[in-house]
Structures are given as C-alpha cells and as structure tokens.
Structure 1
Amino acid sequence: MISIEGKLIGKPLNNNDAFNILKSLDGRKHQVRTGICLINKKGKKIVFSVETEVEFGRNGDKLIWNYINTGEAMNRAGAYAIQGKGAALIKAVYGSYTNVVGIPLNELIEKIKEILYK
C-alpha cells in the first residue's frame, strides 16, 4: 500500500488518474508498506510489516505523461513501477527496494528462518 501524508493511494483508474497520482508524488516523499503473515505447520505465527520511504524527483508534466504513455503506470499502486521505466521518476529510496517492487525479500527471508528454525 502506498500513502502520502496519511492518504492511501491505490492503482490508477485511467491515464488521467495516473497523471494526478504521479503529480501528487512529484518532488515529494511517500511511504510504501507491505504486511506479511507467516504460519508454520505447528501453528506458530509471525506477523510483520515493512515500510520504505520513496522520494520522487521533480519530473514535470511532460516526463510524467511520457511515462504514462509507456503503459507501465496502469495496474500499479501509486501508478509507477520502480523496477521498470518508473525508476526514472525516483530520486531516492530509504529502506527496502524490494519492498517497493512488491515484497521485502531480506526481511521475509529473516522471518522465514525465524519461524522454521527458532
């Protein structure tokens, strides 16, 4: 889930919605949070979440529309794919890059080890 100043941002409905979302992120920081629940065969449960802060550069309308016209913005929370062409919109990532892509791998691996071996 993506949020900026407490407002949740989902997937864009259309290109204009994608533009409005990306424009709201332009030159600003926002948060990406992923929640995960693991349960082993014995019923032991670990629930955790990881938050990553992403800072957009100042991209401007033309670059935003060029990105939207690639088709990559649709079907993605926040209207961007950091692992694709959307990387051009990003100034910095503070925390887990893989969390922004979809799942925080390092944190997940550590929790899997914990639930299996401790």
Structure 2
Amino acid sequence: MDHPLLILASASPRRLELLARIGIVPDRVAPTELDETPGRKELPRQLAARLARLKAEAVDAPGALVLAADTVVGVGRRILGKPTDREEARRFLELLSGRRHRVHTGVALRRPDGSIGTRLVVSVVAFQRLTSQQVEAYLESGEWQGKAGGYAIQGRAETFVRFLSGSHSNVVGLPLFETTQLLRGCGWLRP
C-alpha cells in the first residue's frame, strides 16, 4: 500500500529522535517560522494547541501528511517559553524550583484531504528545590538554550525531577502515544 509522504513541521532534533525511537522516519523535515507570542489572556494549553495547528497548516505540501507539535511550559496561567538569554533561563529555573508545573504539547496531523486531527497532552512535573549551585551549573551547561521552560528533561535537568505524572515523551517534546494514534487513525500506521 502506498502511503502519502510524512512531513515533520519542526526543526527540533528531539522530535526526530523520538520518532526514530519508534521506527518512524519522516520523508521530509519542513520547519515553520511563526510568531509564537501568546495572545492576550491565552492559557498555556491554548497556546500549545493553536501553535501546533498553525504549524501543520503552514507547510505547503498538498497530498502529504504534515505532523506538527508545539510544547509550552506553564506555571499556573504563566507561560514559560524558550528563554531569550541566560538571565531569563535563571528566572525560569528559580520559578520552577521546588514546585510543580505543567508541560502542554499540542500535536496536529494535517491529512492529505486538508483535514486536521489534533491532540493536547498535559504532563505534571515537580522539581526539587534547586540550590544556587545547581542553577549555575545548569546555566553553564548551555542545555537550557532553545528549550521551553529553560530545561531539557532528557538531559541534566532530569536530576531535578522529583515527580512526573503523564507522558515523559511529552515533556521531551512529542507525546508518542498520541502521535501514533493520530497516524493510525488516518491509516498511515498499521495497528
């Protein structure tokens, strides 16, 4: 059976690695450039869902499947995006220290007919109370760069996590269960 091309609308190497872990290799990677600024009063979950959908719609590939995702870290109603510099990353880590936060990932799959299937996955993560030395060492590692919330759970920051409820792959950037369900639902993956 011929399958439509699968295009990943993301520049994230972590999303490619996660897909490869389950044997999925996109035919093409087509990152999108969008304004990711939250709307007025937009909640973290709403932002993740909206951006995933917009990314799926932005790829010009008629007849292909387009997989897009967006991950947003939220502390209450507050959105922690990708820190712009070391000082913002420090503020994020200090805010996350000793408390729970939520990681929201919107996943969107645009089908060849143009319809879009979506999922929103939320995981709860609790950090230990971080010492100033832990924060400095993490900032020095540079691992915070380009990461929602200023940390990478698949790296050194995993040692900060005292509790996780939900999908670990979601916190990395792509919830694999929900992604495979979307691909199965359109017949691209067999059960």
TM-score for both structures, normalised by structure 2: 0.58
Question: 1:40 and 1:70, CA in 2 relative to 1: closer, same or farther beyond 3 A?
Answer: same
The answer to whether 1:38 aligns with 2:109 is yes
Aligned to 2:84: 13
Letter in 2 for 1:76: K
Alignment of 1:1-118 (within 5 A): 1-116=72-187
Moved over 4 A (4+): none
**Please, which runs of 5 or more residues in structure 2 have no aligned partner?**
1-71
- Quick one: distance in 1 between partners of 2:173 and 2:146? 13
- Quick one: distance in 2 between partners of 1:36 and 1:65? 33
Conserved in 2, the CA contact under 8 Å of 1:15 and 1:68? Answer: yes
- Quick one: distance in 1 between partners of 2:87 and 2:172? 23
The structure whose RCO (Cα within 8 Å, separation 6+) is larger is 1
Post-superposition CA distance 1:3-27 (Å, at most 9, x none): 1011001111221111111000001
Structure with the higher strand share, 1 or 2: 1
TM superposition shift of 1:58: 1.1
- Number of equivalences: 117
- Quick one: distance in 2 between partners of 1:72 and 1:42? 39
TM superposition shift of 1:45: 2.9
TM superposition shift of 1:75: 1.4
TM-score for both structures, normalised by structure 1: 0.91
Partner-residue secondary structure (3-state), 1:83: coil
Q: Percent identity?
A: 32
Partner-residue secondary structure (3-state), 2:89: helix
Quote the RMSD (CA, aligned, Å).
1.4
Conserved in 1, the CA contact under 8 Å of 2:119 and 2:178? Answer: no
Partner-residue secondary structure (3-state), 1:69: helix
